[in-house]
Amino acid sequence: MNVAEHLDRVAATHPDRLALGGRDDELSYEELEARAAHLAGGLRAYGLDPGDRLGVLAPNRVRTFVLYYACWKAGVVPAPVNVRLGRDEVAFLLADADVRGLVRDDAYADLVDGVETPLPAVGFADGTSADRSLGDLFADPVTTHPLVSDAEGVLLHTSGSTGRPKWVRQSHATLFSAVGLAYHHGLTPERTRINFFPLYHTGGIDHTLNQLLVGATTVIPGEFSVDRALAVVEAYDPTALLAVPTMMYDLVSDERAADCETPSLAYVVCGSDTVKRSLREEIRDVFGVPVVESYGMTEAPPVSVTPLSGPFAEGATRPVASACEVQIRDPDTDDPLPAGETGEIVVRGDRVALGYHDRPEEERETFRDGWVHSGDLGKFDADGNLYITGRLDDMIVCGGENVYPKAVEETLLGHEAVAAVAVVPVPDERKGQKPVAYVVREPESEVTEGELRSWFVERAAAFEHPRRVEFVRELPRTPIGKIDKRTLEEEASDRFEGAV
């Protein structure tokens, strides 16, 4: 099944119910389907054929999800790019995805300045700086769905443990399996949820789909701010609020949150990063509701979530049994481990993606015999609760964004004054973790911390930049000659926690 087929059926069943609301638009299910159908016809007229990939640089708006729906109707594969990346990273990703066309918002025009695609780029709105806008692409509606469930439904990028960007090929079956998460959450057409997860991430798309697939309402407010969150919660009286921990930290830290009227709010969903106990307690104190955590990855979107009823362990999740199977395996032997033992989390089932685009070696390493090997460490307790305990690699999660030390190190090594570098995380109450760089300067170099940080931000994503640069004469080494990052991490945590 093409996921658009099911969305069409929901629209026919609940034509007048509000499907999507937000800053720029409100659409009933009937209006959503009609707009997507006409835009799908426009995408065909633009020159896209079934199976073609469309690069997307777009803000968190209703119109962005309408574009995805239109792509599915037309058999086109959307490939959204993280708009917080740098220009070189965006150019690389678009080329690597083999996109045929490109839709971009004017706000991100500079990110694709000079990027060429087989079809000229189009803008989102009238008056755009692009030659054409999406408004020009409306045409006769598309009413057929040319792709089946095992075809690509969306291309979403992530990074491997080496930091090299790669695209994940999620199928229509993977997208449709979001309905299992909806049932797990007990979603019904009467529910309304506010979704602040970005629509270039799997969480933003997945949590919007699991609402729409059951006829519920999703509010896409736009980029997060405390003022916007407070306003939209009072305007829509939601059942749930979905946000990354950094957003919730800012919200509950604002004294106005305690006075916000939230009579229908039943829970808060936090994902993309670990939720600290202190944040869970603050959310309960301010809003009087529990925190639902979710665990997943681009290769297998949310596969385990906090139950909404019955006893459960705080900070743990339960696998969505209707959509996937989760095991803990020994990283060395690949043998399943019993409850209580820590190992690598592996997943199989409908939630698993097709694989990577043009990364055969990494695909063979991650997708093995139907199982996704996550690279995450975790364990089950005797009651079936899943706990995430760390990473097999040394990934840093900063404010919900993945920061890979190796990628940061490689960028810093591009500076002529840097002879050697090691990047490690330090705990941070608001962001979760922040990167710190230990740098050995070239002889006679007098480069400063501020100069290095500014130089870095000009070349890579701002969220990746080291929050502290510590200059050292040499980096500590292990007995076999490797950089001793464990020692550096302990030192950084002792010196800089809460101070970067």
Q: What is the CATH number of the domain that holds 159?
A: 3.40.50.12780
Query: Is 206 domain-assigned?
Result: yes
- Domain check: are 269 and 355 in the same one? yes
State the Cα–Cα distance between residues 107 and 128, nearest whole angstrom: 10
pLDDT for res 346? 97
Query: Is 391 domain-assigned?
Result: no
- Domain check: are 372 and 409 in the same one? no
Looking at 318, 352, 380, which one is the last position of a domain? 380
Q: Across residues 112-118, what is the average pLDDT? A: 90
The mean of the pLDDT values for the chain is 89
- Percent helix, strand and coil across the chain, each rounded to 5? 30, 30, 40
pLDDT reading at 134 higher than 70: yes
Kindly compute the dihedral angle of the four CA atoms of residues 295, 397, 165, 415, in this order, to the nearest 10 degrees: 180
Q: Across residues 145-170, what is the average pLDDT? A: 82
Give residue 249's pLDDT band: very low, low, confident or very high (50, 70, 90).
confident
Query: The domain spanning residue 401 has which CATH number?
Result: 3.30.300.30
Helix, strand, or coil (residue 500) = coil
pLDDT for res 148? 86
Say if residue 106 is exposed, middle or buried (CB neighbours under 10 Å; 0-12, 13-18, 19+).
middle
Domain of residue 226, residue span: 3-380
Give residue 358's pLDDT band: very low, low, confident or very high (50, 70, 90).
very high
- Domain check: are 303 and 234 in the same one? yes
Q: What pLDDT digit, counting tens, does each position of 266-282 carry?
A: 999 987 766 777 788 88
- What angle is formed at CA 485 by the lines to CA 482 and CA 486, rounded to 5 degrees? 120
Query: Is 280 domain-assigned?
Result: yes
- Domain check: are 153 and 251 in the same one? yes
Q: What pLDDT digit, counting tens, does each position of 446-456 carry?
A: 899 999 999 99
**Residue 43 or 389, more confident:** 43
- Domain check: are 7 and 53 in the same one? yes
Lowest-pLDDT range of 17-26, 32-41, 403-412: 403-412
Query: Is 430 domain-assigned?
Result: yes
Can you read off the two tokens belonging to residue 176? Answer: 């449709």
pTM for the full model? 0.81
Q: What pLDDT digit, counting tens, does each position of 289-307 carry?
A: 989 888 899 999 989 988 8
Q: Give percent of the chain with pLDDT exceeding 70.
A: 95
CA 480 to chain centre: 37
- Domain check: are 156 and 37 in the same one? yes
Lowest-pLDDT range of 166-180, 243-257, 308-322, 447-461: 308-322
Q: How many structural domains does the chain have?
A: 2
Evaluate whether 293 touches 315 at the Cβ level (below 8 Å): yes
Query: Is 34 domain-assigned?
Result: yes
State the Cα–Cα distance between residues 150 and 2, nearest whole angstrom: 9
Q: What pLDDT digit, counting tens, does each position of 192-228 carry?
A: 999 999 999 898 999 999 999 999 999 999 999 999 9
- Domain check: are 402 and 370 in the same one? no
Evaluate whether 488 touches 476 at the Cβ level (below 8 Å): yes
- Domain check: are 173 and 311 in the same one? yes
State the Cα–Cα distance between residues 422 and 384, nearest whole angstrom: 38
Looking at 380, 413, 441, which one is the last position of a domain? 380
Amino acid sitting at position 368? R
Give residue 154's pLDDT band: very low, low, confident or very high (50, 70, 90).
very high
pLDDT reading at 12 higher than 80: yes
**Residue 494 or 230, more confident:** 230
How far CA 490 is from CA of 111, 194, 393, 426, 496, in Å, comes to 37, 39, 17, 9, 10
How far CA 138 is from CA of 15, 132, 202, in Å, comes to 21, 12, 27
Q: At what angle do helices 405-412 and 449-457 cross, to 10 degrees?
A: 110
Q: What pLDDT digit, counting tens, does each position of 159-177 carry?
A: 643 456 899 999 999 999 9
- Domain check: are 350 and 458 in the same one? no
- Domain check: are 344 and 214 in the same one? yes
Residue whose token pair is 């790019």: 81
State the Cα–Cα distance between residues 300 and 350, nearest whole angstrom: 9
- Domain check: are 45 and 129 in the same one? yes
pLDDT reading at 481 higher than 70: no
Query: Is 475 domain-assigned?
Result: yes
Q: What pLDDT digit, counting tens, does each position of 60-111 carry?
A: 999 999 999 999 999 999 999 999 888 888 999 999 999 999 999 988 988 9
Evaluate whether 326 touches 345 at the Cβ level (below 8 Å): yes
- Domain check: are 216 and 72 in the same one? yes
- The upper half-sphere exposure of residue 339, i.e. CA atoms within 13 Å in the direction of its Cβ, equals 7
Evaluate whether 184 touches 350 at the Cβ level (below 8 Å): no
pLDDT for res 159? 60
Kindly compute the dihedral angle of the four CA atoms of residues 216, 210, 78, 106, in this order, to the nearest 10 degrees: 50
Looking at 380, 414, 431, which one is the last position of a domain? 380
Query: Is 385 domain-assigned?
Result: no
Give residue 316's pLDDT band: very low, low, confident or very high (50, 70, 90).
confident
Give residue 480's pLDDT band: very low, low, confident or very high (50, 70, 90).
very low
Query: Is 168 domain-assigned?
Result: yes
